[in-house]
């Protein structure tokens, strides 16, 4: 299992790394002091457990940037239920905030000899191992303008290139990435089934409602209608019939 540590103090960060590395079932540990680096890591690697310090910027009064980081993580579908353990010196009102973010547990500083921390970590890892199910959902991490996206391909209806911008049409959202070729995105796909009805556009075979080859149109399940280009017509039809897309 992969564990991400976010702690501003190097000594505490390294102590947590040593403690967690001694726990059974841990395969990788990512440790950061920077929220930006931690978020990027979470976009690039699946994280099974977050260990977060609440106070990451002690020079700022009433700092709770660790909670804000947890809040941002919860915005991603992949991490809505991922266990979070907070390392904190705070008590009282802050506990209500931890409940709001669905924190699994919290450990009060100082961490001492680490025995209590190890007990907490192992308890969480055991719970994860007991409930963990293999997740075969294919996703592609993307970054633009400081924002990380985890694009799950089973939520992509189709994607296309318009004037150099990649448009990813999801079931209930749309992502725009300037200067990113659709072909480059397509080449990252290893499992999901995407067909090309027209140059620069790739449709998810699982979301094709029907194909009208007489009028050269593809009807998607989200009501999108996509033309079939003359140069792509033969190949698209062959792939469509072979894959049994509808």
Determine the structural domain holding residue 115 and report its residue range: 2-131
Q: Are residues 88 and 165 in the same domain?
A: no
Q: Which of 94, 111, 131 is the last residue in one of the domains?
A: 131
Query: Percent of the chain scored above 90 by pLDDT?
Result: 47
Q: What's the mean pLDDT in 71-85?
A: 85
Residue whose pair of structure tokens reads 């199910």 in the numeric block: 133
Q: Are residues 115 and 160 in the same domain?
A: no
Q: Are residues 103 and 198 in the same domain?
A: no
Q: Which of 96, 114, 131 is the last residue in one of the domains?
A: 131
Q: Are residues 80 and 198 in the same domain?
A: no
Q: Are residues 18 and 107 in the same domain?
A: yes
Is the predicted pLDDT of residue 245 greater than 90, yes or no?
Answer: no
Q: Which of 131, 154, 173 is the last residue in one of the domains?
A: 131
CATH code: domain of residue 103? 3.40.50.2300
Is the predicted pLDDT of residue 105 greater than 90, yes or no?
Answer: no
Q: Are residues 101 and 8 in the same domain?
A: yes
Q: Residue 17 has what pLDDT?
A: 92
Q: Residue 197 has what pLDDT?
A: 97
Q: What is the pLDDT of residues 186-244, one digit of tens each?
A: 999 988 899 999 999 999 999 999 999 999 999 999 999 999 999 999 999 999 998 76
Is the predicted pLDDT of residue 18 greater than 60, yes or no?
Answer: yes
CATH code: domain of residue 192? 2.40.50.1020
Q: Are residues 6 and 123 in the same domain?
A: yes
Q: Residue 92 has what pLDDT?
A: 54
Number of structural domains the chain divides into: 2
Q: Are residues 57 and 172 in the same domain?
A: no
Q: What is the pLDDT of residues 19-31, one digit of tens each?
A: 999 998 898 999 9
Q: Are residues 143 and 201 in the same domain?
A: yes
């Amino acid at each position: 299992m992969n564990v991400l540590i976010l702690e501003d103090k190097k000594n505490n960060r390294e102590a947590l790394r040593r403690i967690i590395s001694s726990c059974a079932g841990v395969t990788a540990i990512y440790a950061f002091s920077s929220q930006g680096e931690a978020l990027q890591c979470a976009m690039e690697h699946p994280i099974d457990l977050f260990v977060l310090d609440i106070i990451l910027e002690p020079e700022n009064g009433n700092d709770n940037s660790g909670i804000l980081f947890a809040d941002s993580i919860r915005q991603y579908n992949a991490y809505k239920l991922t266990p979070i353990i907070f390392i904190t010196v705070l008590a009282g009102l802050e506990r209500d905030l931890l409940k709001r973010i669905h924190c699994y547990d919290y450990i009060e500083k100082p961490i001492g000899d680490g025995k209590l921390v190890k007990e907490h970590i192992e308890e969480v890892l055991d719970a994860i191992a007991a409930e963990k199910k293999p997740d075969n959902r294919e996703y592609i991490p993307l970054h633009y303008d400081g924002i990380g996206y985890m694009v799950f391909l089973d939520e992509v209806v189709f994607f296309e290139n318009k004037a150099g911008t990649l448009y990813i049409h999801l079931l209930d959202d749309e992502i725009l990435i300037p200067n990113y070729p659709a072909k480059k995105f397509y080449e990252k796909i290893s499992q999901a089934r995407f067909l090309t009805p027209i140059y620069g556009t790739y449709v998810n075979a699982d979301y094709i409602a029907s194909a009208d080859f007489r009028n050269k149109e593809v009807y998607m399940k989200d009501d999108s209608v996509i033309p079939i280009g003359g140069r792509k017509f033969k190949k698209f039809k062959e792939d469509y019939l072979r894959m049994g897309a509808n």
